[in-house]
A and B are shown apart, each in its own frame.
Chain A
Amino acid sequence: AQSVTQLGSHVSVSEGALVLLRCNYSSSVPPYLFWYVQYPNQGLQLLLKYTTGATLVKGINGFEAEFKKSETSFHLTKPSAHMSDAAEYFCAVTSVSSGYALNFGKGTSLLVTP
Chain B
Amino acid sequence: DADVTQTPRNRITKTGKRIMLECSQTKGHDRMYWYRQDPGLGLRLIYYSFDVKDINKGEISDGYSVSRQAQAKFSLSLESAIPNQTALYFCATRAGDNQPQHFGDGTRLSIL
Contacts and interface: CB of A to CB of B under 8 A. Distances in A.
Nearest to A48: B100
B45 A94 contact: no
Nearest to A104: B42
A98 B44 CA distance: 11
Interface in A45-95: 45-46, 49, 51-52, 90, 94-95
Contacts of A98: 45, 48, 56, 58-59
Interface residues of A, number: 25
A29 to B, nearest CB: 11
Contact of A44 (B48, B59, B103): B103
A108 to B, nearest CB: 10
Given A9-B40, A43-B106, A107-B42, A102 B101 contact: yes
Contacts of B48: 98-99, 101
B98 A94 contact: yes
A36 B35 CA distance: 14
Given A98-B58, A99-B48, A43 B42 contact: no
B45 A105 contact: no
A43 B31 contact: no
Given A98-B48, A99-B48, A43 B56 contact: no
5 contacts: A42-B106, A45-B103, A90-B42, A101-B101, A102-B33
Given A44-B90, A104-B35, 4 more contacts: A43-B106, A52-B98, A94-B97, A102-B45
